[in-house]
Amino acid sequence: MIPNALVKEFRKAKNIVAFTGAGISAESGIPTFRGSGGLWEGYRVEEVASPDGFNTNPVLVWKFYDERRKNIFKAVPNTAHTVLAKLENYYNVWIITQNIDGLHIRAGSTNVIELHGNIWRVRCTSCNYKDINEDVPLKDLPPKCPECGSLLRPDVVWFGEPVYDLEKAFHVAENCDIMMVIGTSAQVYPAAYLPLYAKQHGAIVININPERTPVDDYADFSIHAKATEALSSLYQKLQEAFQEE
């Protein structure tokens, strides 16, 4: 599954970036969004993941996020998350994730850019109040700001909203030797441009996904496998390689 030429690239590399999507958390039991017939865990996406949807029915939106929080609360990081954390022992690693589940941080990765925010954070719709809220289930929906009384919303990025830390993400993409793209359909721009940008700045691009995605058109290596299988094989090969050194 892992060609020797790929191991060779890792032997030369110093800076690694992993760009991850919902697929990396699928094996932790967190459903991805695509392929569900326009429904997201039984809800219409535009109703529960857009500013308009929130203005129309904040309680419905909070119920949806409450369900997702219950599911994510039960989930634990899988081998793919933990291998990425362990790579920090050998490389300068940055994770750029589109996921809001916080599993990379729980797995022990330290440099994590969460482009779409984090489901355990809430923020006020009027003032600058932000906080961590880990109540499962949430109490008294919809929650209100303790400072000004306005509605609190999940601190996640919805359709039509700008992503967080994009400039920083492009900066690390520009400066990496290897860009691993894991479990993302790579269809949501501008984030989907990150691997191509890395490639244009000299990085080796590896796509890890059981399905073909647009990244395969320019990736140096395509590994059509599940994230846990691909990452555990890769880690085993790398350890063998490091022992030889």
Binding site for Zn ion (CB under 5 A): 124, 126-127, 129, 145, 147-148, 150
Interface with ligand NAD (CB under 6 A), residue total 26
Q: Does 233 bind ligand NAD (CB under 6 A)?
A: no
From Zn ion, ligand NAD, none, which one binds at residue 145 (CB under 5 to 8 Å depending on kind)? Zn ion
Q: Cβ–Cβ contacts within 10 Å for residue 63, how many?
A: 17
The strand order across the sheet containing 112-114 reads: 112-114, 92-97, 15-20, 178-182, 204-208, 221-223
**What is the distance between the alpha carbons of residues 138 and 96, in angstroms, rounded to a whole number?**
28
From ligand NAD, Zn ion, none, which one binds at residue 25 (CB under 5 to 8 Å depending on kind)? ligand NAD
Is the CB of residue 231 less than 8 Å from the CB of residue 2? no
Q: Does 99 bind ligand NAD (CB under 6 A)?
A: yes
**Helix (H, G, I), strand (E, B), or coil: what is residue 221?**
strand
Options 9, 27, 131, 174; binder of ligand NAD; rule CB under 6 A: 27
Q: Does 98 bind ligand NAD (CB under 6 A)?
A: yes
Which stretches does DSSP call E strand in 3-111? 15-20, 39-40, 43-44, 92-97
**What is the distance between the alpha carbons of residues 30 and 22, in angstroms, rounded to a whole number?**
8
Based on CB atoms, which residue is closest to ligand NAD, 166 or 241? 166
The active-site residue, picked from 116, 171, 201, 224, is: 116
Question: Which residues form the interface with ligand NAD (CB under 6 A)?
Answer: 21-23, 25-27, 30, 32-34, 98-101, 116, 183-185, 187-188, 209-211, 213, 226-227
Kindly list the catalytic residues: 116
